[in-house]
A and B are shown apart, each in its own frame.
Chain A
Amino acid sequence: MGKSTVIPFGPQHPVLPEPLHLDLVVQDETVIDVLPQIGFVHRGLEKLVETRDYNQFIFVAERICGICAMGHSLGYAETVEELMGIEVPTRAEYLRVIWHELSRIHSHLLWLGLAADAFGFESMFMHCWRLRERILDIFEKTTGGRVILSVVRVGGVARDIEDSELAAICSVLDGIKSEYKEITDTLLTDMSVKNRTVGVGTLTHEQAVDLSMVGPFARASNVSYDVRSFGRGAYGALSDFQPIVDAQGDCYARVKVRCLEVLQSIQIIQELAGKIPQGDIAVKVKGNPDPGARAANVLEQPRGECYYYAQGNGTKFLERMRMRTPTSQNLAGMVEALKGCDLADVNMVILTIDPCISCTER
């Protein structure tokens, strides 16, 4: 073994989509230790609850991240609703889940495109993003926005989706499904992809449990934890929901889990579109959160469990709002997954973990 060398990696690097810095301690091209550092894009958004009332803050919450925008507005709204004891109409719950699952598809397709590009499949990158465009078109048609949807409100949603439009969405998703299967079949059976991912960046089930990992990263290590399986809101109406897991814990398993989750989300949307009840889409919200009232909530974002906390003080402004994002929880696991891999595989390990640093720093 040669002597140890520390290689700085990021925050700006051609293969890193996020501002993450890693100090890689390497010996003969093998990573033996990693020190992660974030903090380059901290915006202090949580502090803004002091100057934006609880209705206005929803628009700040969805700007925490461009990919998880829908999830953040939903998680925030659910937490404030719990804080104030607001019951949301059932139709609104269904619509929220439909948009949220569309958002998951959009996030996973974006990630898959970037991963394909990293593998050297530039045309596959374009195909993934072409499919993603169709999801963004659905967003635009149903909400008016393509990335920031601004459709969730405390007490419900701002817009309804007509039944005919829901049927059209299901048919678009059918079209996406067949094309998507072609893409993933190619990706998952390709020898060069397997060479780069199988057995690389492995995190065992025990390590994943020990490090309280969340999301597809944990599920690829056979941790059967998905917040959606609690069956809250419209998820409770699903005939069956089982988290998608894989036992291998390597980069290939993480790619596979995400690929299958897109199909699962399509199935959820199609089932809920067939079951959605008629009725109101929002209730009128009156009053302010009680002084000292506290509420905590979790939501399954595309990257895993996100924790939300809200505390009232009797005014229209919240005393405290807090979000703990999935990437924050998975940083320790990322360090473990990187240990022992080749220097050339570092980008592959990070890409398959799909970190979102903008979310994490808020």
Chain B
Amino acid sequence: MGFSTDFKTMDAQAIHEDAQMRKDAGWRYVQMLAVNNDDSADVIYSYMRDGLLENLVVEALPRDAHLPSITDVYLEAFVCENEIHDLFGITFDGLAIDFLGNFYRVSTEVPMTIISPEKLAEREKQRKLEEKKAQAAAAKAAKEAGEAPAEAASDISGAKPGEPLIDEEMEAKLASMPPEKAAKVRAAMEAKAKKQAQDGEDA
């Protein structure tokens, strides 16, 4: 018997009906999980039969979504449903063994929905790198077309003479640093730029 996996999307309305249909057809319940998005969450139901692991994705559920519990069909899902409720805030109606938010002892409510500063910094860095790539690609295309690169003359960071030159790459690096360290680096760069400007005036 081989093994294969598959991902499909499913409508939230079809969750219970699908679970019942699968139970009748001999599918084994494997697990449920949630994935946090910026302002919503996905819930994935997994079932297996004859070596096929099928993952059904219910996409873009609001933070306070109510989903039908499948514990009347698959009792063993009570662990995952309670876990998703405590960590992601999604409520399952008709849960057979409902711990009412006391399944896990967590110090922060719905901790998996919190977007950490590290994740935000990483996203910012990624966004800026993509922007920079796009600008470089646009400049290259313009050069190839024989046009004068519109932005080439001016600095991409928009820095005026005398101001610290912090390019996009440095900005991305600063964004991924802890705030105190980033502030120190900025101050050092500003001091350096000021000194360079002063040296230029003296000369």
Contacts and interface: CB of A to CB of B under 8 A. Distances in A.
Interface of A: 35, 37-40, 42, 44, 46-47, 50-51, 82, 209, 211-212, 225, 227, 229-232, 294-298, 305, 307, 309, 311, 314-315, 317, 319-320, 322, 324, 328-329, 331-333, 360-361
B72 interface: no
Interface stretch (B10-18, B99-107, B148-156, B193-201): B99-107
A37 B31 CA distance: 18
Contacts of B103: 37-39
Contacts of A38: 103
Interface residues of B, number: 40
Given A212-B28, A361-B104, A311 B35 contact: yes
Interface in B1-59: 1-3, 5, 7, 28-31, 33, 35-36, 44, 46, 48, 51, 53, 55
Nearest to A230: B3
Given A329-B76, A332-B76, A229 B118 contact: no
Contact of B99 (A37, A42, A229, A307): A37
A209 B119 CA distance: 41
**Interface SS of chain A:** mixed
A50 B121 CA distance: 11
B76 A331 contact: yes
A296 B105 contact: no
B79 A230 contact: no
**Interface SS of chain B:** mixed
Nearest to B96: A332
Nearest to B83: A328
Contact of A297 (B5, B29, B78, B106): B5
Contacts of A329: 30-31, 76, 79
A97 to B, nearest CB: 15
A125 B186 CA distance: 62
Given A212-B28, A315-B122, A361-B104, A324 B3 contact: no
B30 A324 contact: yes
B105 A322 contact: no
A212 B105 CA distance: 27
Contact of B2 (A225, A230, A305, A332): A230
Interface in B146-174: none
A303 B122 CA distance: 37
A212 B97 CA distance: 17
B112 interface: yes
A297 B55 CA distance: 11
Contacts of A360: 79
A245 to B, nearest CB: 15
A307 B46 contact: yes
CB-based closest 6 A-B pairs: A324-B31, A230-B3, A332-B76, A39-B104, A42-B104, A212-B29
Contact of A322 (B29, B33, B51, B119): B33
Interface in B76-125: 76, 78-80, 97, 99, 102-106, 111-112, 116, 118-119, 122-123, 125
A315 to B, nearest CB: 5
A296 B97 CA distance: 27
B74 to A, nearest CB: 7
A298 B53 contact: yes
B118 A51 contact: yes
B106 A295 contact: no
A211 B75 contact: yes
Given A211-B75, A332-B75, A332-B76, A296 B46 contact: yes
Contacts of A311: 35
Contact of B74 (A35, A37, A212): A212
A296 B48 CA distance: 12
A212 B46 CA distance: 12
A333 B76 contact: yes
A317 B5 contact: no
B33 A40 contact: no
A307 B36 CA distance: 19
Contacts of B7: 294, 296
A48 to B, nearest CB: 10
Contacts of B105: 39-40, 42
Best-buried of B5, B29, B33, B46 by chain A (most CB within 10 Å) = B33
B29 A295 contact: no
B135 interface: no
A303 B23 CA distance: 24
Nearest to B112: A47
Contact of A315 (B28, B51, B126): B126
A319 B35 CA distance: 8
